[in-house]
Amino acid sequence: MNNLTRSLIERLRSVLEHIADHHAAPELLVAVIIMTGWAAAGFADFGFFAVIAAIVFGWLLHGVAAETGGFGWLWLSTGVLLLYIVFARSTVLAGTSPVWMAAAGATALAYNEAVRTNHWRRRRARTGVAAFTGSVAAVLAAGLLGMAGMAAAQFVADGAQSGRWWQPLAAATLFGLAVSLLVLPTLRSPESSRERWTPGTRLPAPPKPK
Amino acid sequence: MTRHLTHRFWLCFLIGWGGLSVAVLTRNLDMAAVGAPFLAALTLSLIDGWWPVVTPVSVAVSSSRVVEGDEVDFTFTFQAAQRAVADIEVQLPGTFEATTTTRMVDVVTDTAELKIRARAVRWGASGPEWIVIITRDRLAVSERIMRCPVEMSVRVHPPAEFLSTLIPLYRERPVTGEHRSRAKGTGSEFAEVRPYRYGDSIRMIHPQLTARRGTPMVIERHPDRSSTMVLLVDSAQDLGVGLETTLRWTVTAAMALGARHLQAQDRLGLLDVGHTLRWVPARLGRRHLHTVVDALLATEVTVRQPQSEQGNAPLELPANLPPSATIITISPLLSESTLSLLVALRSRGHEIIVIKPTVPDPADDVSPLARRIFDVGNRLNEQWLRHRGAMIIPWSPNESLQHILSRVIPKLARGRVGT
């Protein structure tokens, strides 16, 4: 075995150890399963190689998001997952009710939450189990509420038959208005600051009491 | 304290709002359905209560005094007004090195506790600097960041040696102590034998000597006296790296000398000379030793004030500096303010003894010429001070201070060394 081979094997071993140490947490495994599942479902009709390419791309984005702990990458990987769900609408979710689409949306939310909670571990925080279980419960509740909401919307839409589209339009407008009412005071509040303290940043020592 | 809408808010808002908009445009509920859980997350977090508050209640420490290298436990207690996910981080100063994690993420319902074990790596008086608490609702849509300064100080002592030697007595106080006075009187140290003189007390006649010599003889003794000492600590600079620094050596030596002289019933004062002046008046006793040691541990190099604020005004000596005090200075003699202050003290008639720790070797990238200029300047400073009557004892901190003093003090008692 020459030096090049030996160094390559060493490098590979260290990469595998790193993956085992940092990417084998339960929440990340759940996130990987979600990403893989939707990549496979989204590209099922495009052939074997497309499925493999979609899975590898999803894994790459997921790996970067988990490794860097950056919210930008987390947004991107969640966005790609949503894209896979949109693609899957034409395959596994074709012709299903909006309730199933809401369930699919809930998995995207779960994926985002799983990677976010993993950031706590990455920064070597002492993490309580309640924080993880609370996250799971919150995502489940959001998913169930979303599904229930869509079931209700489906019922209303079926009942109306004529499709009174001013209703969702009005709902969207009201929702936008409500959010603006919440966001604007927050942004204008004296407590709000653009300078968000990033965890881990060292602050200058406070002045000593005289 | 700041509060923010997190990235999760914008994620939920964009996906939920986007899904609704697409659903309206395409007249199909599917995309609204994808966004529905995100909208539900926003709604739930709003119901759960945005911007929850978790506040620190108390900070406890296992020991308020430790020696360099010891470990100490800090316990922080927090209280929540409502159930919240708290991301708590404690910032320790450079004098402590955490051996356990300094960060905690947990759901705080009523109270929570964070225990941190830290090793004291450098002397000084300091403690945890900040507690930063980020509280979020359960779906992390809103967050509140609170930065709380911690007012707690743990005194980390450098390992100081025990001295048996005292700096000699120059001006005595009429109070019993451990210094041998040059005067004669009642004491324990033998001075001379002389014939009985008119005016001597009869009790002073030594029976055995008188019997041997056939004439009344008297034994004279040196009385044991105490003195007033002022430790002058030069904190204008701290040269060196890690634990091998001039200020650490200065503080270590000052603590050893202070403890010894207070034990010898000397009154002890402390003058900390940096860019400003700190004065602990001369007093006696064990309690005063704690005051002096605490003041020494709080010594640090202060930032020089801008020229416009401070000007070139020399440091003013404290009004209650005892005129008979012997000034024991521990200084590398590099600061102009310290040198001029020593000259001012000498001109007021104080005896000045300088223990001069060796300056650590500079980094390799310092040119030999610069090093020579530095050495010459340093030597000129020494000579300038010696010509004004100060006594300078060079001290390489690799060597025991006791060893140096026991070698030099006998010469000091007779006259002056190195002048």
B248 CA: distance to closest CA in chain A (Å): 21
Reading chain B (419 residues) residue by residue, the pLDDT tens digits are 777 888 888 889 899 888 888 887 787 788 888 999 998 998 888 887 778 888 888 999 999 999 999 999 999 999 998 888 899 999 999 889 999 999 999 888 889 999 999 999 988 888 999 999 999 888 888 888 889 999 888 999 988 888 888 887 777 777 777 777 777 777 777 888 999 988 888 888 899 999 999 999 998 888 888 889 999 999 988 888 888 889 999 999 999 999 999 988 899 999 999 888 899 999 998 899 999 999 999 888 876 665 545 556 677 888 889 988 999 999 999 888 888 899 999 988 888 999 999 888 777 778 888 888 988 988 898 898 988 888 899 998 888 888 888 888 777 654 444 33
Nearest-angstrom CA–CA distance, B64 and B252: 19
Nearest-angstrom CA–CA distance, B324 and B348: 10
Residue of A104, A154, A186 with shortest CB distance to B34: A104
Chain B's closest residue to A158, CA to CA, is: B29
- List of residues 6+ apart from B26 with CB closer than 8 A: none
| CA nearest to B112, candidates B75, B70, B73 | B75
Nearest-angstrom CA–CA distance, B285 and B265: 7
Nearest-angstrom CA–CA distance, B176 and B232: 24
Write out chain A residues lying below 8 Å of B114, CB-based.
126
A103 CA: distance to closest CA in chain B (Å): 8
Main-chain dihedrals φ then ψ at residue A196, nearest 5 degrees: -85, 130
CATH architecture of the domain covering B226-304+313-414: 3-Layer(aba) Sandwich (3.40)
pLDDT of residue B210: 92
A126–B147 CB contact, under 8 Å: no
CB contact A205 to B (< 8 Å): yes
Main-chain dihedrals φ then ψ at residue A80, nearest 5 degrees: -65, -40
Characterise B244 by phi-psi region: left (phi > 0), alpha (psi -120 to 50), beta (else): beta
Residue of A109, A168, A206 with shortest CB distance to B23: A168
Q: Which of A109, A166, A184 is the best residue to mutate to test the B interface, defined by the most B CB atoms within 10 Å of its own CB? A: A109
A5 CA: distance to closest CA in chain B (Å): 38
First to last CA, chain B: 61
Among 2.40.128.20, 2.60.40.1240, 2.60.120.570, 3.10.20.600, name the CATH number for the domain at B54-157: 2.60.120.570
pLDDT of residue A167: 65
B4–A134 CB contact, under 8 Å: no
Beta bridge pairs of residue B187: none
| CA nearest to B236, candidates B246, B226, B249 | B246
A84 CA: distance to closest CA in chain B (Å): 12
A128 CA: distance to closest CA in chain B (Å): 5
Write out chain B residues lying below 8 Å of A82, CB-based.
15, 34
CB contact A176 to B (< 8 Å): yes
Q: Which helix (H) or strand (E) holds B355?
A: strand B351-357
Nearest-angstrom CA–CA distance, B67 and B297: 11
**Mean of pLDDT values over A39-55:** 91
CB contact A157 to B (< 8 Å): yes
B109 CB-contact burial (10 Å; exposed 0-12 / middle 13-18 / buried 19+): exposed
- List of residues 6+ apart from B25 with CB closer than 8 A: none
For residues B264 and B178, the answer to whether their CB atoms sit within 8 Å is: yes
B40–A124 CB contact, under 8 Å: no
B151 CA: distance to closest CA in chain A (Å): 8
A49 CB-contact burial (10 Å; exposed 0-12 / middle 13-18 / buried 19+): exposed
pLDDT of residue B417: 41
A197–B147 CB contact, under 8 Å: yes
Scan for tokens 């995309």, then name that residue.
B31
Q: ipTM for the complex?
A: 0.85
For chain A, which residues make up each domain, given as ranges? 13-122+131-159
Write out chain A residues lying below 8 Å of B2, CB-based.
191-193, 195-197
Beta bridge pairs of residue B131: B90, B148
Round the average pLDDT of chain A to a whole number and report it: 84
Residues B304-348: tens digit of each pLDDT: 665 545 556 677 888 889 988 999 999 999 888 888 899 999 988
**What is the pairing mode between strands B130-136 and B54-61?**
unpaired
For residues B236 and B341, the answer to whether their CB atoms sit within 8 Å is: no
For residues B194 and B188, the answer to whether their CB atoms sit within 8 Å is: no
Length of chain B: 419
Residues A102-158: tens digit of each pLDDT: 999 999 999 999 999 888 887 788 888 888 888 899 999 999 999 998 888 887 777
Distances (CA, A) of B261 to B141, B164, B177: 63, 10, 10
**What is the pairing mode between strands B84-91 and B2-5?**
unpaired
Sign of CA dihedral A188, A193, A194, A199: negative
pLDDT of residue B418: 38
- List of residues 6+ apart from B149 with CB closer than 8 A: A206, B129, B130
- Note the Cα A97 to chain centre separation in Å: 23
Chain A's closest residue to B85, CA to CA, is: A131
Nearest-angstrom CA–CA distance, B231 and B118: 32
| CA nearest to B230, candidates B366, B324, B325 | B325
Q: In this predicted structure, which of A28-37, A190-199, B293-302 has the lowest mean pLDDT?
A: A190-199
First to last CA, chain A: 68
Residue of B11, B37, B38 with shortest CB distance to A75: B11
What count of Cα atoms within 13 Å lies in the side-chain half-sphere of residue A130?
Answer: 13
Higher pLDDT among residues A67 and A187, named by residue: A67
B202 CB-contact burial (10 Å; exposed 0-12 / middle 13-18 / buried 19+): exposed
**What is the pairing mode between strands B130-136 and B142-149?**
antiparallel
Beta bridge pairs of residue B190: B221
